[in-house]
Chain A
Amino acid sequence: MSESGGVNGDMTDAPIAIQLTDIVKRFPGVIANDGVNLTVRKGSVHAIVGENGAGKSTLMKTLYGAHQPNEGTITVNGQDRVFSSPKDAIADGIGMVFQAFMLAANLTVWENIVLGQEPGTKLSLNASEARSRIRELGERYGLDVDPDALISDLGVGDKQRVEILKVLYRGAEILILDEPTAVLVPQEVDALFASLRELTVEGATIIFISHKLDEVLKHADAITVIRQGKTVGEVPDPSTVTSHDLAEMMVGSELPTPETRDSTVTDQPVLELSGLTVKATESGGRDPVHNVSFIVHRGEIVGIAGVEGNGQSELVRSLVGLLPSTGTVLLDGDDIARLTTRERRDTGIGYISEDRQKDGLVLGFTLWENAALGHHHRPPFAKGPWLDVSGTKERTEAIVDEFDVRTPSINVPAFTLSGGNQQKLVVGREMTAEPKVLVAAHPTRGVDVGAQSVIWDILRDARAAGLGTILVSADLEELIGLSDRLLVMLRGEIVAEVDPATVTPAELGSYMTGATTGAH
Chain B
Amino acid sequence: MLERIWRGSLAPLVAAAAAIVISSIALLISGNNPVDAFVEMWKTIDSTAAVVDIINTAVPLYISGVAVAIGFKMNLFNIGSNGQYLLAALIAGWAGAEVSLPPLLHVPFVFLVAMTVGGSWALIAGILNVTRNVNVVVSTIMLNYIGIGLSAFLLSEYLRDTENGGLVAQTKVMPESARLPSLNPIFEFFGFNFGPRVELLGFLPFAILLGVVYYVLLNRSLFGYELKLSGMNADAALSAGVNPKRMVLITLFMSGAVAGMIGLPFLLADPTFLKYGDAFPVTLGFTGLGLALLGRNSPIGVAAAALVWATIEVATRRLGSLGIPPEIGKILQGSFLLAAVIAYEVVRRRNDAAAAEEAAKATRADRETPPPSPPNETAPIGATS
Contacts and interface: CB of A to CB of B under 8 A. Distances in A.
Specify whether A and B are partners.
Answer: yes
A373 B224 CA distance: 13
Interface string A370-406: 0011101100001001110100000000000000001
Interface string B219-261: 0111111101100110110111111000000000000000000
Interface string B179-220: 000000000000000000000000000000000000000001
B371 A53 contact: yes
A32 interface: yes
B240 A406 contact: no
A413 B355 contact: yes
A387 B224 contact: yes
Interface stretch (A160-168, A204-212, A304-312, A417-425): A417-425
B370 A418 contact: yes
B232 A54 contact: no
A118 to B, nearest CB: 26
Nearest to B219: A387
B371 A32 contact: yes
Interface string A320-364: 111000000000000000001111110000010100011111111
What's the dominant secondary structure at chain B's contact region? helix
Contacts of B220: 386-387, 389
Contacts of B228: 365
Contacts of B239: 320, 322, 341, 351, 353, 359-360, 374
Contacts of B241: 321, 340-345, 374, 377
Contact of B377 (A341, A342, A363): A363
- The bracket for how many chain A residues form the interface is 35 or more
Contacts of A321: 241
Nearest to A343: B241
List of 4 A-B pairs having minimum Cβ-Cβ separation, nearest first? A342-B241, A408-B362, A53-B370, A29-B360
Contacts of B238: 322, 341, 359
B222 A382 contact: yes
Contact of A416 (B235, B359, B370): B359
A359 B356 contact: no
Contacts of B135: none
25 contacts: A28-B380, A29-B371, A30-B372, A53-B370, A228-B368, A228-B370, A229-B371, A320-B239, A345-B241, A359-B239, A363-B233, A365-B228, A373-B236, A373-B240, A376-B240, A385-B222, A385-B223, A386-B221, A406-B366, A407-B359, A408-B358, A413-B355, A416-B360, A419-B373, A448-B369
A412 interface: yes
A98 B232 CA distance: 28
Contacts of A340: 241, 243
A170 interface: no
A465 to B, nearest CB: 24
A27 B373 contact: yes
A112 B140 CA distance: 36
Contacts of B384: 27, 61, 66-67
Nearest to B226: A376
A362 B233 CA distance: 6
Contacts of B225: 369, 372, 376, 387
Given A359-B236, A385-B222, A415 B371 contact: no
B36 interface: no
A389 B221 CA distance: 10
Interface residues of B, number: 47
Contacts of A54: 370
Given A342-B241, A387-B220, A408 B233 contact: no
Interface of A: 27-32, 51-54, 61, 66-67, 228-229, 320-322, 340-345, 351, 353, 357-365, 369, 372-374, 376-377, 382, 385-387, 389, 406-409, 412-413, 415-421, 448, 450
B369 A29 contact: no
Contacts of A351: 239
Contacts of B240: 341, 373-374, 376
B31 interface: no
Contacts of A417: 359, 372
A281 to B, nearest CB: 13
B102 interface: no
A420 B243 CA distance: 29
B229 A29 contact: no
A51 B371 CA distance: 12
B383 interface: yes
Contacts of A382: 222
Contacts of B372: 29-30, 415-419, 421
Contacts of B362: 407-409
B352 interface: yes
A18 to B, nearest CB: 20
B229 A418 contact: no
Contact of A364 (B232, B367, B368): B232
B3 to A, nearest CB: 15
Given A322-B238, A360-B236, A364-B378, 8 more contacts: A29-B359, A67-B384, A359-B239, A362-B233, A376-B240, A377-B241, A385-B223, A406-B369
Contact of A406 (B354, B363, B378, B380): B363
A1 to B, nearest CB: 37
